[in-house]
Each structure stands twice: as structure tokens, then as C-alpha cells.
Structure 1
Amino acid sequence: MLVDHIVLGIIGLAPSSGYDMRAEVEKGSIGLLSALSFGSIYPRIKALVEDGLVRMEQEEKDGRKRKVYELTAKGWHELQRWLMEEAAEYPLPMRDELLVKLLFWGIAGADRSILREHLQARREESEELLNHIRGLQHDGITFVDEYTSLVFSYLQMRLESELQWLDTTRTKLLQEPELPSQDPRWLTVLQKARRKNALGEDDT
């Protein structure tokens, strides 16, 4: 997913000023689906103008003139070409720091109650995001067509599934730790010995 195509898509929704694009990236649907910042897309606007994909117009609003960007015919064609001809990359790896920590929790001998606190914090954030997405669809401001509704539906289902997983996992962590279901190289025993040796602990 190129930055240029995101810029073309934002302008395609409506002629946009720099302020409009910042709001869409920071508070709108695009901000939910990409890690881009306004600082990363702003330099591309000038390049898109120079390439003939976008044109800059002067618009007067509330007695003030501002720069507004609109797609040219070339820009509309490029947006459509990207949508129809370029296959979207599968979104892996997931790049989720909490899940990465979870992978290493057992080998470090970390306190399970602390992990439950991390999971609870994540739950609160996910629930807040879910409520935000639900609110966007009825706020009277956000543009929501059939395709946007499909995206929101996906995000809601994903977050609802995550909330269910978080609740199940926090409950499971109240129980005693389980032995690995697979450990063909005896890593659990070796890890414990290595950790004790490094920390200077006894075998007691």
C-alpha cells in the first residue's frame, strides 16, 4: 500500500486541504487501517501535483483563502488502477507487541498476575476503540457508504473476537501454569537452568 494511493483515496472522497487530510489520517477511517502519519503523507502531495495526478485550487472559506487539492483525470485513473489491478498484500506479520511479550512470558519466569494486568489494559483500549468505531457510523459527520460499512463490520467483528479472547485468556491465567504441549528440544528445562545460572540462583 503506497502512501500516494492513500493520498489519492482521501482526496477522492472529497477535495481536501492539508488540514482535512490531517483530520482523516488522525481521526478518520484511514487512521484505523494504517500506521501512516500526516507528516509522512504531506510531502507526497507536492509530488502528486508535479506528476499531474492532483491539482491545487484556491478556495475561500469563512473569508479566508486556503489551498484545496483535487484529483485530475490522471489521478482518478491511477486510483482506479491501484484498486482494481494491484493485489493487496496479506497483513502479516501482525506486529503486535503484546502478543510478542506473550510468546516470551514463560521463558522469563515473569509474574502471571502482571500479564493479566497487561491484558486488562489491552481490553480497555480495544473496547474503547470498538465503541469509537460504532460511534463513527452514526455521528452524522463520517462518510459511510456500502464499502465503508463493510470495513467497519470487519473491524467490529475482529475487536469483538479479541475481547472474547482477552476474557478467556485472563481467566486461564488464574490457573496454575501448564507444561508445554510440545517441547521436543526440552527448552523449558534448559531455559530454567540457564536463567538460574545467569541470575546466580540456587537449585533449591
Structure 2
Amino acid sequence: MDDNHTLRENMLALILGSALVSLGVIFFNQVGLLTGGTAGLAIFLTKTTSFSFGQIFFALNLPFYILSVTRMGWRFTINTFVAVTIVSLAVDHLYHVIQISSINPFYAAALGGGLIGMGMLVIFRHKMSLGGFNILALFLQERFGIRAGKVQMALDCSIVIMSLFIVNIELILLSVLGAVVTNLILAMNHKPGRYQPQVAS
């Protein structure tokens, strides 16, 4: 996986990061919020089709693996595939062990967005992603130095705006809040070169 971390550290990051993202998505789903990226698109499509989040999220990511293999390499792609699979399965099946009967929508937006952001940050730092727009964001950061958080925020807000057609304005505003929280965490903490070793002069 990541040469800067041991296999144990990478596996822990993969499981923990995916679990945090899954829990954040569950919070969003509980109150009808949306998010950005392929996860947001998957939530959007669950409202208009009979497929589950996990099924749609897994399928939406398939085309992006081509970009991942050609630009980011096989190791990154395999790691990402595993992370996407974990999130897809977890969101669809965590209700067997976690049941949320009631949660304030504002709290769900803030905490859910924070959980997703922290989960993505853990995954990104170990040279993995959650596929889809994450791959595009990381590619642009690696290739052109554009912060992944800024790219992700632009894409996320676009998905949320699309959702104006299916949810009310209050939920849209809360969804935007969740997206902002997620991407502020990424923009402030995942910067190009921050984790590269410094060469002594």
C-alpha cells in the first residue's frame, strides 16, 4: 500500500477511514440529507431508483478505475477498490448493528460531514481514495498542485445543487453545510507536499 506506513497501519487506516465515512453517510441518510461526489450522486439516485446506496456507489465508481490505473497506478487502484467495497457494504448493512431512531438534522449535517471528512483524510493520507471524484481530485492535486479539498468542494456543491429538484430548500442548505464541513477538513489538512520528507540543506 503506502510505502511510508506499515501494512498494519495501512489496513487500520483502510478500515477506520471507511467506517467513519460509512457512519457519516448513515447520518445523512437518516435525515434525508445529500452530499457531494459519487456518494452524493448515489444518495440522489437511491431517491429515484429501487437500488440501494451500496449497489449504486459501487457501480458508479467502476469507470473511474480506468483513470486510477493509468494515472495513479495499480496499488492505489486496488486500495481504492477495497475502500469503496467496504463503504458500499457497510452503509447497506450497518443497520444490523446501529439503529438511529432520531437525530437533529443540523447535528447530522455537521457531525456527518465531519465524519466523512475525517474518514476521507485518513484514507487520503495512506495513498488511497474512495473512488469517483476522489480519484479525480487526487489526480489534479498530484499533477497540477490543486488542493484536493477545493476540487472536491466544487464537485460536491454541484451535486447538492442538482438535488434542488428532489428535496426542500432546508435540507439543501443543511446538505451544503455538511459538504462544507467535509471539504474544509480536507482543504485545511490535506495539502500537496505537507507529508513529504524534508531534505536537509
TM-score by length of 1: 0.32
CA radius of gyration, larger in: 1
> Structure with the greater relative contact order (CA < 8 A, sep ≥ 6): 1 or 2?
2
